[in-house]
Amino acid sequence: MHRDIASGHLASHKSLTDRTRWHSDQVEVLISELDQMRSAMLELESAFTKHLKEIPQERRDSARNLLHYIALRNKDIRSLQVELVRRGLSSLGRCESNVIASVDSVLSLLQQVTGEKLELLSEDAKPATFTSGRAMIDNSTQKLLGEHPGYSGPAVMVTMPSTAAEDYSFVRDVLEAGMGVMRINCAHDNEQRWLTMINNLKRAERELGRSCRVAMDLSGPKIRTGSIEPGPQVLRWRPQRDAYGRVTAAVRIWISLKPADSSAGCFTAPNDSVDVVLPADDSWRVLEAGDELYFTDASGRKRRLRITQKTCRGFWAESKQTTYVTPDTVMHRLRGGQKSDGHERQFRVGGIASSPRSLFLRKGDRLTVTHADIPGRPASYDDQGKLLNNPSIGCTLPEIFQDVRKGHRILFDDGKIAGIVEEANNQHLVVEITRARARGDRLRSDKGINLPDTELQLPALTAKDIQDLEFVAKHADIVNYSFVRRSEDLEHLQRELKRLGRSDLGIILKIENRQAFENLPVLLVMALRSPASGVMIARGDLAVECGWERLAELQEEILWMCEAAHVPVIWATQVLEGLAKKGLPSRAEITDAAMGARAECVMLNKGPNIVHTVRSLRDILARMQEHQVKKRPMFRRLEMVESLLKLRTESINRRFK
């Protein structure tokens, strides 16, 4: 009896809860919010009518769907989503590929409660439905990246090393392993080598019966540190020692005689076992195996080295002492334990290259950034240790000085060193270093410079890019657009492709800076003017510009926005880097590669183990494809449930025995 009463109370409470959840006033509020949202979508579409007409008919619905998604994300709808979920309805959290269809579906269900009727779009009038939205993404992907028979999941893009121009077997192996897009970076090699790589690919395609697209990266303007004044001409060697300071291995020195024919190369080592190459002239030819050379090195210490072998090209020698040698170092011969007499000629070292220099920077230091044609210099001090001049370094694109302002952040070497601009003019910048390791960091030449706060007016297409584009238009299927920031950049590229008669060439926008990320909706609308286009999430540069802590958030937003535009995404930067370079991935790399299953393509960089890496990535992506489509989980049968079901069966069998 008590149980019946309790059940009655529970049933009554449940009925009351259901009535509360579906109270008509509350439902009408939800309908009103959804209707306003829907009106905002259609208003934004109407405002862009002129722009939509410039987009090819086959991609116009994708642009409409993108505009609807932008209107949806222009407002915080989290409280609305909670109320929809409470009623067992869609939260609109997975509506990217079919925005207005998702909203209309929820509205249709809510109207059945109130009896109210709104004028909803017919299926034919919607830019994308639940079925067609996914199909539109697949169609865009196929146009850009081609078909990839023989495996499922995202395509794999592989960056070609320079050796791909000579090693046909490498190209064949990586294609057989599952490469779907060959990536050639125009910042390296030259047209002849690019063409050889592409010809190797075509040969491999014929042999294997597979197809593969060719994507070529334009270099774009590179903002990098300039040269630094060379250091002193000094050669140092140091033997290996154990924990007690005892020598465990002597330094292996190759004394190289300059060849008579300078075109044959000079001062080169005969093999990789050499530790140090010591350049010499013909006067050294009188030396024999077993001779010793004694001298005072640049540090003022007495030193010796022993000749162990003589060849026609030079000598092998050994040293068990840490030594500093300069062009002024004079050596004398010891033969049979006896010093040479005063009439013996002296032996001088020649041709020592200046040592590469770097700038040592600590937090709080000031660094002057100048034009590239002014070599960088370390800080200088007077005899009392007082600072005379800040360290300085050049910038390869001094045009940036026109745009940088006081207070802007500036990052060097992938963000390892960071600073704030204290002084800015058309000639130089003065930067206070705000980030460096506690013990300091070294800044070298040819390191990247990022300016995340600066609205750079540099054109994305350089003179070199326009020249390279001639080759790309003839031989490639896709152009990867570096440094794109604004819609004007994309319009420039589209005009150049039209001039070359290749308006059909696929375009991949590399989102690698803050401006490109912030302008992504506009860039996507512009990209839809081209027959085939996509987006690469260049996560390395993007993280440097926007902050590593924001990277996960940014890549999610890019994935969402591209799905709304039905534009394929390339997941890039350091995917399975450890596996490609060292043969063993980290746990984090495997997880990151699996996340790439939500993109349409995953890019791999170069490495000695790249063929194995392609196979491993293909396996990871194929497995994940059964669990994930974009951000929508797919509930395939899980083998792990078998253990519990087996336990249940055993329990039932025991009960009836």
Q: Given this model, what pLDDT does residue 657 score?
A: 57
Q: In this model, does residue 484 exceed pLDDT 90?
A: yes
Q: Given this model, what pLDDT does residue 272 score?
A: 63
Q: Which of 8-22, 88-102, 356-370, 583-597 is least confident?
A: 8-22
53-71: pLDDT as tens digits: 999 999 999 999 999 999 9
Q: Given this model, what pLDDT does residue 111 score?
A: 86
Q: In this model, does residue 566 exceed pLDDT 80?
A: yes
| Burial class (CB within 10 angstroms; exposed 0-12, middle 13-18, buried 19+) of 351 | middle
Q: What is the Cβ-side half-sphere exposure of residue 411, based on CA atoms within 13 angstroms?
A: 18
Q: In this model, does residue 156 exceed pLDDT 60?
A: yes
Q: Given this model, what pLDDT does residue 312 score?
A: 82
Angle between helices 130-145 and 57-72 (to 10 degrees): 120
CATH number for the 362-450 domain, one of 2.40.50.140, 3.40.50.720, 2.40.33.10, 3.40.50.300? 2.40.33.10
Average pLDDT over residues 217-222: 94
Query: 140-218+460-633 with 362-450: one CATH topology?
Result: no
Tokens matching residue 196: 């050889």
User: Domain coordinates of the chain in residue numbers?
Assistant: 17-128, 140-218+460-633, 235-348, 362-450
334-373: pLDDT as tens digits: 876 566 554 466 888 877 888 788 999 999 999 999 987 8
Query: Using CA atoms in the order 486, 489, 491, 492, what is the torsion angle rounded to 10 degrees?
Result: 160
Q: Given this model, what pLDDT does residue 12 score?
A: 47
From CA 374, how far away is CA 209, in angstroms rounded?
54
The DSSP bridge pattern shows strands 330-335 and 347-348 to be antiparallel
Cα torsion angle, 107, 113, 119, 124, sign: positive
Q: In this model, does residue 2 exceed pLDDT 60?
A: no
- Domain 235-348: state its class: mainly beta
Assign residue 582 a region: left if phi > 0, alpha if psi is -120 to 50, beta otherwise?
A: alpha
Percent pLDDT > 90 in the chain is 65
Q: Which residues pair with 508 in a beta bridge?
A: 480, 534
Alpha helices in 73-145 (DSSP H): 78-86, 99-114, 130-145
Q: Given this model, what pLDDT does residue 644 score?
A: 53
Residue 268's pLDDT band, with cuts at 50, 70 and 90, is: low
CATH number for the 140-218+460-633 domain, one of 3.40.50.11540, 2.50.20.10, 3.20.20.60, 3.60.20.10? 3.20.20.60
3-state secondary structure 40-75: HHHHHHHHCHHHHHCCCHHHHHHHHHHHHHHHHCCC
Q: Given this model, what pLDDT does residue 124 score?
A: 85
pTM for the whole structure: 0.83
419-429: pLDDT as tens digits: 999 999 999 99
Q: In this model, does residue 72 exceed pLDDT 70?
A: yes
Question: Bigger pLDDT: 16 or 552?
Answer: 552
Q: In this model, does residue 3 exceed pLDDT 60?
A: no
Question: Bigger pLDDT: 596 or 385?
Answer: 596
Q: Given this model, what pLDDT does residue 534 score?
A: 97
Average pLDDT over residues 628-640: 59
Q: Given this model, what pLDDT does residue 637 score?
A: 54
Q: Given this model, what pLDDT does residue 16 score?
A: 45
Q: In this model, does residue 259 exceed pLDDT 70?
A: no
Q: In this model, does residue 231 exceed pLDDT 90?
A: no
Q: Given this model, what pLDDT does residue 273 score?
A: 75
495-524: pLDDT as tens digits: 999 999 999 999 999 999 999 999 999 999
170-204: pLDDT as tens digits: 999 999 999 999 999 999 999 999 999 999 999 99
DSSP secondary structure of 179-214: --EEEEETTSS-HHHHHHHHHHHHHHHHHHT---EE
The secondary element (H helix, E strand) that includes residue 412 is strand 409-412
Whether the CB-CB separation of 525 and 51 falls below 8 Å is answered with yes
The pLDDT mean for the chain works out to 87
Q: In this model, does residue 313 exceed pLDDT 70?
A: yes
b/e for 236-266, b at 16 or more Cβ within 10 A? ebebeeeeeeeeeebbbbbbbbbeeeeeeee
Q: Given this model, what pLDDT does residue 115 score?
A: 76
Cα torsion angle, 139, 141, 142, 144, sign: positive
Question: Bigger pLDDT: 521 or 634?
Answer: 521
Q: Which of 506, 508, 505, 511 is nearest to 483 (CA)?
A: 511
Q: In this model, does residue 262 exceed pLDDT 80?
A: no
Tokens matching residue 79: 């409280």
Question: Bigger pLDDT: 271 or 546?
Answer: 546
Whether the CB-CB separation of 179 and 169 falls below 8 Å is answered with no
Q: Given this model, what pLDDT does residue 645 score?
A: 56
